[in-house]
Amino acid sequence: MSVPTQTVDKRVERSKAKVLAETYRQLVQSGIAGVSVDEVSRISGISKTTIYRHWPSRSALLIDACSRLGGTPVAPDTGSLRGDARALLSHLAHQLRTANWASVYPSIIDAAERDAELSTMQAALHKTFMAPFEAIIERAKAKGEVPRDHVTNDVVALLVGPFFFRRWFAKEGMDDCFIDAVVEAALR
Amino acid sequence: MSVPTQTVDKRVERSKAKVLAETYRQLVQSGIAGVSVDEVSRISGISKTTIYRHWPSRSALLIDACSRLGGTPVAPDTGSLRGDARALLSHLAHQLRTANWASVYPSIIDAAERDAELSTMQAALHKTFMAPFEAIIERAKAKGEVPRDHVTNDVVALLVGPFFFRRWFAKEGMDDCFIDAVVEAALR
DNA sequence: ACGAAACAGTACGGCACCGTACCGTTCTAT
DNA sequence: ATAGAACGGTACGGTGCCGTACTGTTTCGT
């Protein structure tokens, strides 16, 4: 009665976890280009031989580590679209200020510009990040709160775009006043 | 009657131009991490010795090359704020599709996240890029087309953010319909 | 208890890169 | 014309990195 196709060996899980944790740390600290297998091995205490036993290449390790950036998305339900949007954007603003992935994401975006595998990974990550926004808009459409001829992805861009812009390009803050301005503009 | 503090030697100007051109080419093709002094030397035909005679380090060369990304900004004057915004955004959408800097900019954004010098360079570049948008908004404020209590930078974020979002994050197109949606939302 | 699998340690080979030193040649400014 | 600057070519030292081979040890599953 063995577990079918899963990795069950405790040693494997422990090694993998340690390697991924250290890879993640270097990823956040130095970006994709700053992750080195030698250093991951040195600091995590897992020998390089073992690392290459679990991942075929540095690239595979990076993609594996990046894929774990997305947290479980939460879709609020305050009753009104504006309330939901404000909640989501407030959370997003806080994440952009504090969360680890905020400093890694530009690295991924840059790499996705030239690497096909990372590009598909980024697409999946993006989909995960945007899912809650799509959800509240679709729900509002069903309730008639948003005209059906509004393209969902356009509304998402109107809501999220300004925040990404502020965090990574303009490097300005995002206070409640800004959140309100974005919500009012996008959900006019 | 010598030129005061300028570099006048034709050889110097020629070498510098060749090196910068090749650096720019590699920058566009492979991003910041993909620029190597050895390869710039090999392809441009300018010896490495000469390169290091003009720039103290690879980093200095990169910053010099990146600084030249910004084109001369054009501020349209169609008579109405909406017209100006549509013109600027249409031009921006086209640039994001075709211009060279569109593929380099994520590299700069990523590097600016961790390198102080590149960060100030990016800030200057950003200011240059956003200047036309600020100009048309300030002008509209003066004409009473936009309430004075609207923060200019907020409006810029509402206008430009969605386009950057589409180009680099969502990787979707930006047609005229999208442009109109953004303009109507931001300048409500 | 025992066979098999995972592990650490180490040492490589190969590559790409940065930055410098040296030397002989070419070109510019005056 | 000539001094001096800029240049090309080459070679080198040092570093960091990726991925592999080999050897012995530990640990898991049964």
Looking at the structure, tell me whether residues A87 and A137 fall in a common domain.
yes
CA of B54 to C1' of D5 (A): 13
Strand ranges (E), A8-116: none
Residue A73 lies inside a defined structural domain of this protein:
no
Please check the confidence at residue A5 and state whether its pLDDT lies above 60: no
Answer for A6: CB within 7 Å of strand C: no
Residue B72 lies inside a defined structural domain of this protein:
no
Looking at the structure, tell me whether residues A62 and A95 fall in a common domain.
no
Q: What is the pLDDT of residue A75?
A: 86
The pair of structure tokens assigned to B148 is 């004075």
The dihedral sign for the CA sequence B159, B164, B169, B174 = positive
Q: What is the pLDDT of residue B1?
A: 35
Residue A74 lies inside a defined structural domain of this protein:
no
Looking at the structure, tell me whether residues B166 and B117 fall in a common domain.
yes
Looking at the structure, tell me whether residues A63 and A88 fall in a common domain.
no
3 state SS of B76:
coil
Q: Domain of B38: which CATH number?
A: 1.10.10.60
Classify residue A164 as exposed, middle or buried by CB count within 10 Å of its CB (0-12, 13-18, 19+): buried
Residue B1 lies inside a defined structural domain of this protein:
no
Over residues B96-103, the mean pLDDT reads 94
Looking at the structure, tell me whether residues A16 and A86 fall in a common domain.
no
Looking at the structure, tell me whether residues A119 and A169 fall in a common domain.
yes
Angstrom distance (rounded) from CA B174 to CA B161: 13
Residues of B in contact with A106 (CB under 8 A): 106, 109-110, 113
How many angstroms separate the CA of residue A186 from the nearest CA in chain B? 6
Closest residue in chain B to residue A115, using alpha carbons only = B30
Over residues B168-185, the mean pLDDT reads 98
A188 reaches B (C-beta below 8 A): yes
Answer for B38: CB within 7 Å of strand C: yes
The pair of structure tokens assigned to B30 is 């492979």
A181 reaches B (C-beta below 8 A): yes
Q: What is the mean pLDDT of chain A?
A: 94
Residue B75 lies inside a defined structural domain of this protein:
no
In 3D space, the residue among B43, B57, B69, B51 whose CA is nearest the CA of residue B15 turns out to be B51
Number of domains in chain B: 2
Looking at the structure, tell me whether residues A121 and A87 fall in a common domain.
yes
CA of B58 to C1' of C18 (A): 8
Of A44, A67, A90, the domain-final residue: A67
Helices (H), B113-151: 116-142
Answer for A57: CB within 7 Å of strand C: no
Residue A18 lies inside a defined structural domain of this protein:
yes
How many angstroms separate the CA of residue B113 from the nearest CA in chain A? 7
CB contact under 8 A, A162 and B157: yes
Q: What are phi and psi of B87, to 5 degrees?
A: -60, -50
CA of B48 to C1' of D20 (A): 34
Q: What is the pLDDT of residue A90?
A: 97
Note the pLDDT tens digit of each residue in A164-176: 999 999 999 999 9
- Nucleotides of strand C lying closer than 7 angstroms to a protein CB: 5-11, 16-23, 27-30
Residue B3 lies inside a defined structural domain of this protein:
no
List CB contacts of B99: < 8 A, sequence separation 6 or more: none
Note the pLDDT tens digit of each residue in B116-172: 999 999 999 999 999 999 999 999 999 999 999 999 999 999 999 999 999 999 999
Q: What is the pLDDT of residue B5?
A: 44
For chain B, the farthest-separated pair of C-alpha atoms sits apart, in whole angstroms, at: 59
Please check the confidence at residue A4 and state whether its pLDDT lies above 60: no
Confidence of residue B7 (pLDDT cuts 50, 70, 90): low
Note the pLDDT tens digit of each residue in A38-68: 999 999 999 999 999 999 999 999 999 999 9
Residue B62 lies inside a defined structural domain of this protein:
yes
CB contact under 8 A, B186 and A185: yes
The pair of structure tokens assigned to A155 is 């509304």
Interface of A with B in 119-138 (CB under 8 A): 123, 126, 130
Q: Domain of B108: which CATH number?
A: 1.10.357.10
Q: Determine the residue among B104, B165, B171, B183 to mutate to test chain A binding: the one whose Cβ has the most chain A Cβ atoms within 10 Å.
A: B165
List the domain range (segments joined by +) for residue A20.
10-67
- Here the ipTM equals 0.93
Please check the confidence at residue B97 and state whether its pLDDT lies above 70: yes
Angstrom distance (rounded) from CA B20 to CA B40: 9
Looking at the structure, tell me whether residues B19 and B112 fall in a common domain.
no
CA of A16 to C1' of C12 (A): 25
Q: Which helix (H) or strand (E) holds A86?
A: helix A81-98
The pair of structure tokens assigned to B174 is 């930006």
Angstrom distance (rounded) from CA B60 to CA B157: 31
Looking at the structure, tell me whether residues A114 and A167 fall in a common domain.
yes
Across A140-149, b (16+ Cβ under 10 Å) vs e yields bbeeeebeee
Note the pLDDT tens digit of each residue in B44-87: 999 999 999 999 999 999 999 999 887 788 889 999 999 999 99
Cα–Cα separations (whole angstroms), residue B140 to B96, B161, B169: 26, 20, 31
Looking at the structure, tell me whether residues B100 and B181 fall in a common domain.
yes
Note the pLDDT tens digit of each residue in B14-35: 999 999 999 999 999 999 999 9
Q: What is the pLDDT of residue B123?
A: 97
B117 reaches A (C-beta below 8 A): no
Looking at the structure, tell me whether residues A35 and A119 fall in a common domain.
no
Over residues A126-131, the mean pLDDT reads 96
Looking at the structure, tell me whether residues A61 and A147 fall in a common domain.
no
User: CB–CB of B89/B181 below 8 Å?
Assistant: no
